[in-house]
């Protein structure tokens, strides 16, 4: 399995992104090794991803020129749905940026993952590109959830797979048979950590069990982390508060989730208010980290996956921190997708999400179009 994330240095601001994960096969062809997505026969659009030159070969060792082979970074992410590329599967690997010059900075092993960090030059930007290579071993306990349409509730979806002659989309989610652990980076100020914790643990009340856990990450651990689902505090982020996931592309199991909290946006007037607002944002971003998409439906608040004005958001955060039960949409949808509890679609609160006609954030509705998920407030 190949998983890629990268961080551009735009002036001084951190601009982190992930690329789409692939299950690949390595094929020797003359003096090159070709990395081909075959996805075990499930690819709808088979693709040659990388051609790596063989540098030398002895009886037991094949030496590859990694940096010559890995010379482009794709924009498509695992945080996606068929509406992102308008169902056009050929568009999926179309957009990338080229690497002009690069060097390997670090190679490490985390469990079965070989993590390679490449320092690259693209146009006039410096980019750190992180590659995870691991033997593909799907989790036998994970139960995929088929989610072909986004009519009633929304999760990010895997790219389409050919299964029994049809195209299938799976919801992205964690394995609910083991704890889902989020680690708080040492960058989160001591005075704000309780509010962050409250926001993450909101999801246990949605699930009705203590599946989500919060720990403190070791000092120095930063995104991307192969080992932890890290929540990091940034003072100079390019995208406001946001989240990223990397999944098993064939099952939808989320393997890595990272959340950035935009420090400057939590500097409202009064401290309690700041913490309440922070808890709401953390609950929202953790929801994305658990695979949930936005629900911008109008009416009374039924989910933290909507956007709210600052006062509404603080009120919601206060309510989250009070330990009250989770909102109806969050409760019903999470228990259905994660825990296979039955759901009554007819009585589910209304749903609409990014890109759907007439659906947008509170500020966008009047303009008649939706705010894209790549916008300034994720
Ligand atoms: Zn969001």
Cα 74 to Cα 71: distance, rounded to the nearest angstrom: 10
| Residue 102 Cα to ligand 1 middle (Å) | 33
Answer for the pair 302, 329: CB distance below 8 angstroms, yes or no.
Answer: yes
Cα 87 to Cα 160: distance, rounded to the nearest angstrom: 9
- Residue 81 C-alpha from the chain's centroid: 12
Q: Has residue 372 been placed in a domain? A: no
| Residue 288 Cα to ligand 1 middle (Å) | 7
Q: Has residue 148 been placed in a domain? A: no
Joined tokens for residue 98: 């080229």
| Residue 290 Cα to ligand 1 middle (Å) | 12
Q: Are residues 303 and 199 in the same domain?
A: yes
Q: Are residues 104 and 234 in the same domain?
A: no
Domain boundary pick from 133, 152, 185: 133
| Residue 238 Cα to ligand 1 middle (Å) | 15
pLDDT of residue 9: 80
End-to-end distance of the chain based on CA atoms, in angstroms?
27
| Residue 103 Cα to ligand 1 middle (Å) | 35
Answer for the pair 43, 57: CB distance below 8 angstroms, yes or no.
Answer: no
Q: Has residue 146 been placed in a domain? A: no
Q: Has residue 150 been placed in a domain? A: no
pLDDT of residue 152: 97
For the stretch 48-89, pLDDT in tens is: 889 999 999 999 999 999 999 999 999 899 999 988 887 776
pLDDT of residue 218: 96
Give me Rg for the CA atoms of the chain.
Answer: 21
pLDDT of residue 377: 45
Answer for the pair 119, 102: CB distance below 8 angstroms, yes or no.
Answer: yes
Please state, in angstroms and as integers, the Cα–Cα distance from residue 154 to each residue in 44, 82, 170, 336, following that order: 23, 12, 11, 12
Q: Are residues 80 and 188 in the same domain?
A: no
- Residue 191 C-alpha from the chain's centroid: 27
Q: Are residues 128 and 263 in the same domain?
A: no
Cα 78 to Cα 249: distance, rounded to the nearest angstrom: 8
| Residue 275 Cα to ligand 1 middle (Å) | 18
Joined tokens for residue 106: 């670090």
| Residue 174 Cα to ligand 1 middle (Å) | 18
| Residue 141 Cα to ligand 1 middle (Å) | 29
| Residue 281 Cα to ligand 1 middle (Å) | 9
Strands of 148-253, DSSP E: 161-163, 166-168, 180-184, 212-216, 229-234, 242-247
| Residue 22 Cα to ligand 1 middle (Å) | 25
pLDDT of residue 308: 92
Q: Are residues 178 and 225 in the same domain?
A: yes
Instruction: Provide the domain count of the chain.
Output: 2
pLDDT of residue 371: 33
| Residue 378 Cα to ligand 1 middle (Å) | 4
pLDDT, averaged per 10 consecutive residues of the chain (378 residues), comes to 91 86 94 89 81 95 94 92 78 79 94 96 90 96 96 95 90 98 97 97 98 97 96 89 96 98 83 89 98 95 94 94 95 98 96 88 49 40
In the DSSP assignment, the letter for residue 160 is: P
Q: Are residues 353 and 291 in the same domain?
A: yes
Select from 234, 296, 295, 293 the least CA-distant residue to 259.
Answer: 234
| Residue 124 Cα to ligand 1 middle (Å) | 30
| Residue 52 Cα to ligand 1 middle (Å) | 37
Domain boundary pick from 133, 152, 170: 133
Q: Are residues 126 and 166 in the same domain?
A: no
| Residue 60 Cα to ligand 1 middle (Å) | 49
Answer for the pair 25, 47: CB distance below 8 angstroms, yes or no.
Answer: no
pLDDT of residue 268: 67
pLDDT of residue 360: 79
Select from 31, 12, 95, 107 the least CA-distant residue to 69.
Answer: 31
Q: Are residues 123 and 168 in the same domain?
A: no
pLDDT of residue 358: 85
Q: Has residue 209 been placed in a domain? A: yes
| Residue 62 Cα to ligand 1 middle (Å) | 45
| Residue 265 Cα to ligand 1 middle (Å) | 15
Q: DSSP assignment of 304-357, as one string?
A: TTS---HHHHHHHHHHHHTTPPPPHHHHHHHHHHHH-----GGGSPP---TTST
pLDDT of residue 370: 32
pLDDT of residue 92: 60
pLDDT of residue 93: 60
Q: Has residue 56 been placed in a domain? A: yes
Looking at the chain, list the stretches that DSSP marks H as alpha helix, in order from N- to C-terminal side: 66-69, 193-207, 271-289, 310-321, 328-339
Cα 36 to Cα 57: distance, rounded to the nearest angstrom: 21
Answer for the pair 249, 47: CB distance below 8 angstroms, yes or no.
Answer: no
Q: Are residues 21 and 72 in the same domain?
A: yes
| Residue 278 Cα to ligand 1 middle (Å) | 14
Domain boundary pick from 133, 149, 174: 133
* Assessment of whether the complete model's pTM goes beyond 0.75: yes
Answer for the pair 53, 28: CB distance below 8 angstroms, yes or no.
Answer: no
| Residue 352 Cα to ligand 1 middle (Å) | 13
Q: Are residues 215 and 358 in the same domain?
A: yes
Q: Are residues 67 and 176 in the same domain?
A: no
Q: Are residues 129 and 166 in the same domain?
A: no
| Residue 364 Cα to ligand 1 middle (Å) | 14
- Residue 179 C-alpha from the chain's centroid: 18
* Cα–Cα–Cα angle for 230, 240, 356, rounded to 5 degrees: 100
The domain that contains 350 carries what CATH number? 3.40.390
Please state, in angstroms and as integers, the Cα–Cα distance from residue 88 to each residue in 77, 78, 92, 159, 221, following that order: 15, 16, 7, 11, 38
Give the domain range for residue 359: 161-367
| Residue 304 Cα to ligand 1 middle (Å) | 9
Joined tokens for residue 35: 């990395």
Q: Residue 1 is inside which H or E element, if any?
A: none
Joined tokens for residue 101: 């010059």
| Residue 241 Cα to ligand 1 middle (Å) | 8
Q: Has residue 166 been placed in a domain? A: yes
Q: Has residue 16 been placed in a domain? A: yes
| Residue 332 Cα to ligand 1 middle (Å) | 19
């Amino acid at each position: 399995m190949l998983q890629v994330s990268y961080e551009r240095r735009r002036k001084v601001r951190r601009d982190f992104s992930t690329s789409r994960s692939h299950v690949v096969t390595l094929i020797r062809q003359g003096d090159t090794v070709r990395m081909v997505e075959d996805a075990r026969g499930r690819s709808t659009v088979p693709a040659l991803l990388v051609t790596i030159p063989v540098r030398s070969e002895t009886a037991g060792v094949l030496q590859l020129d990694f940096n010559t082979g890995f010379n482009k970074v794709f924009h498509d992410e695992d945080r996606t749905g068929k509406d992102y590329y308008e169902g056009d599967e050929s568009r999926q690997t179309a957009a990338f940026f080229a690497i002009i010059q690069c060097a390997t900075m670090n190679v490490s092993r985390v469990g079965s993952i070989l993590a390679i960090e490449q320092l690259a030059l693209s146009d006039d930007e410096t980019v750190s590109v992180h590659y995870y290579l691991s033997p593909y071993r799907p989790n036998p306990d994970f139960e995929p959830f088929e989610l072909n349409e986004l009519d009633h509730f929304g999760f990010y979806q895997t790219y389409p797979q050919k299964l029994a002659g049809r195209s299938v989309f799976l919801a992205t989610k964690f394995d609910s048979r083991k704890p889902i652990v989020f680690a708080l980076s040492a960058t989160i100020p001591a005075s704000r950590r309780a509010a962050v914790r409250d926001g993450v643990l909101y999801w246990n009340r949605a699930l009705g069990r203590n599946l989500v856990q919060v720990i403190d990450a070791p000092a120095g651990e930063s995104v991307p982390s192969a080992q932890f689902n890290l929540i990091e505090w940034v003072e100079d982020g390019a995208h406001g508060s946001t989240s990223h996931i990397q999944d098993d592309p064939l099952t939808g199991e989320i393997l890595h989730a990272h959340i950035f909290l935009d420090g400057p946006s939590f500097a409202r007037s009064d401290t309690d208010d700041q913490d309440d607002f922070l808890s709401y944002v953390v609950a929202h971003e953790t929801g994305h980290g658990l695979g949930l998409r936005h629900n911008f439906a109008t009416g009374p608040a039924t989910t933290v996956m909507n956007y709210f004005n600052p006062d509404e958001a603080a009120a919601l955060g206060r309510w989250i921190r009070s330990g009250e039960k989770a909102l109806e949409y969050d409760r019903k949808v999470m228990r259905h997708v994660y825990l296979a509890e039955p759901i009554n679609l007819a009585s589910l609160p209304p749903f609409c999400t990014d890109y759907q006609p007439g659906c947008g954030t509170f500020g966008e509705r009047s303009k008649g179009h939706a705010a894209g998920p790549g916008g300034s407030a994720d």
